[in-house]
Structure 1
């Protein structure tokens, strides 16, 4: 990455909302390619805010949200535990000093060799949602403590995570019985209300569903003691969300009302790191497909394949800031630079951008600290991966 100092005056004057460290750094520098600038202190503040609301629940940071080693080290110093989805993420956490008992292997789809690796490192808390996965765990990590992931049927999240992960509620008892027959310690259940669940009240129907599964398991003789409530803690993308402490506290209140005094694990990812970082990018082209076209096409030097994959189906709607904000705006179709026709960010609901926007203008994508660096391809169409600056 090559940067040089620039006069931030004009840019700052029209964007007073950006008085934070990451935005200030962007304003004072020039970037040759798309770059995520992330403020580590903001991650630490967010951890403290969530912890204050979660109380005695154990935070297992979802490493997949942003696996930068500096984030892992900072959160470890705060006392965080970690939810890992792969051997590489486990190795990362161990390399930063995390103990085995601070790591859970939460992906329900694991290689047998990776299960064995985790067991060899002393990691015992593993997730499953299928008979064959239980067989693999029993064969390669017989001392594992297993929690079963349950499909969420009524998510109100902006990015629901149903279907691919989890077992149907009616299938849970047979899985618990199989795990017990295999000699595994079946310790609890997990679920995920869906990424970017903007209001804590949306958890209620999901918790009611999981509570019924939990009660059925208890009545069948399974003494469950662990409830992994997953993630879903939201970030601000322009629509109002509850403050993190209040949000987390209300979630825990709802959980305790239904499940009582059980051990709770929470796995914030987006809610931990998204607001800590912004991406600085450049407008490559502004065009209309015909003189009568109602919408301009604005092409950026970053797209779905270079970090903004969460614009898929326009589920996550990022905020954009330019130096020309405050002037007249008009609707735009926003697209990335690649030669893939799927590389369109927002078309169903166009983005309002200044009418004077032109190629060469800088544009900032707000609150991109989560799920951008890990979604960025390595060299698709020859474009470099997303650069990262951690303050």
Structure 2
């Protein structure tokens, strides 16, 4: 695959010294355990690039992607809004200077007391996808503005987000009626195309599904005025993706072609922070199960339970950089250090790594700024969660 060196999002380095500040910091320092090095300036660059493509849409950063307070503070300074999934995330954003009108409580599964807390501090925008959730919102935030999350099918994302969240399209009219009867302001719809949707063109079939639900609601007189298009904005993991401004602009063209001049919320998480950080790890062991084994097993000091949970089902395929890149290489099964047989990162599709790789070698895992620190467990097998260095 040929990459343009002028496009940092499509640059694949062949040495551990990558063309960014986080990599330069890694090259100059030693680390005693797995560490995420995150470049705060790069987060700002990604925000600006996405905002340029999204235009008038409000950017609601998905706090769950990386809730480091320094990221939140930097995005507050940029004017970002925030998608919060819990009371602690709401409190975090407020503590870093976010205004209440910049916050949405976007989790469709909320504790009643947390809804009441959000309302008490002035949050008015809530998500729902079930009758009981509407009842909880009405009881604890009677002046709430509510958008309904719709299940979408045929997602072409690397990590589809179907089934757990959202209501079936045919159930939305009943939820709108119920919400109105409860006195709630039913303001719009939301959906999620799926995490790591690598091409903007993949949004088209999903938008076609949502606009049918939207048009039905409008014909019924609900006057919806808010469309939450969720996340899905991709990061670079080795397969080419469009530059963020181009990608976001393409999505918005598709939205406006179907919905007209509607108010839009977007919730980038991965696309905002993934490329801002790399993890420094170490090889603990290289072994074969028998002399006839086709693949080596390479065990790292980080695994599924200490930050790399997104390797589950091999959905997210990270890039691995070593000092021995360029030497003869071959496929290997990559695994973590814990005493759990599930702690295997890549086996169905082995990873190509240098044959000379051995215990003690440093490995850099690229573009790990999203969903690593928040997925890291506390002390499983005694392995600590990721260290984090923000530069």
Match of 1:301 in 2: 301
| 1:49-98 CA-partner distances (Å, limit 9, x unpaired) | 00000000000000000000000000010010000000000000000011
**1:221: how far off?**
1.2
1:209-228 correspondence runs (5 A): 209-228=209-228
Match of 1:9 in 2: none
Secondary structure at 2:73 match in 1: helix
**1:162: how far off?**
0.5
Consecutive unaligned residues in structure 2, runs of 5 or more: 1-12
Tell me if 1:243 matches 2:243: yes
Match of 2:10 in 1: none
**1:220: how far off?**
1.1
Q: Does the 8 A contact of 2:83 with 2:105 survive in 1?
A: yes
Secondary structure at 1:299 match in 2: strand
1:166-177 correspondence runs (5 A): 166-177=166-177
Secondary structure at 1:193 match in 2: coil
Q: Does the 8 A contact of 2:147 with 2:190 survive in 1?
A: yes
RMSD over aligned CA atoms reads 0.9
1:87-166 correspondence runs (5 A): 87-166=87-166
Q: Does the 8 A contact of 2:37 with 2:277 survive in 1?
A: yes
Tell me if 1:280 matches 2:284: no
CA–CA distance in structure 2, aligned partners of residues 364 and 17 of structure 1: 9
What is the total number of aligned residue pairs between the two structures?
379
1:369-388 correspondence runs (5 A): 369-388=369-388
Tell me if 1:189 matches 2:189: yes
Runs of 4+ more than 4 Å apart: none
Secondary structure at 1:242 match in 2: coil
Q: Does the 8 A contact of 1:158 with 1:316 survive in 2?
A: yes
CA–CA distance in structure 2, aligned partners of residues 174 and 251 of structure 1: 29
| 1:258-310 CA-partner distances (Å, limit 9, x unpaired) | 00111100000000000000000000000000010000000000000000000
CA–CA distance in structure 1, aligned partners of residues 146 and 101 of structure 2: 14
**1:14: how far off?**
5.8
CA–CA distance in structure 1, aligned partners of residues 29 and 53 of structure 2: 37
Match of 2:345 in 1: 345
Secondary structure at 2:298 match in 1: strand
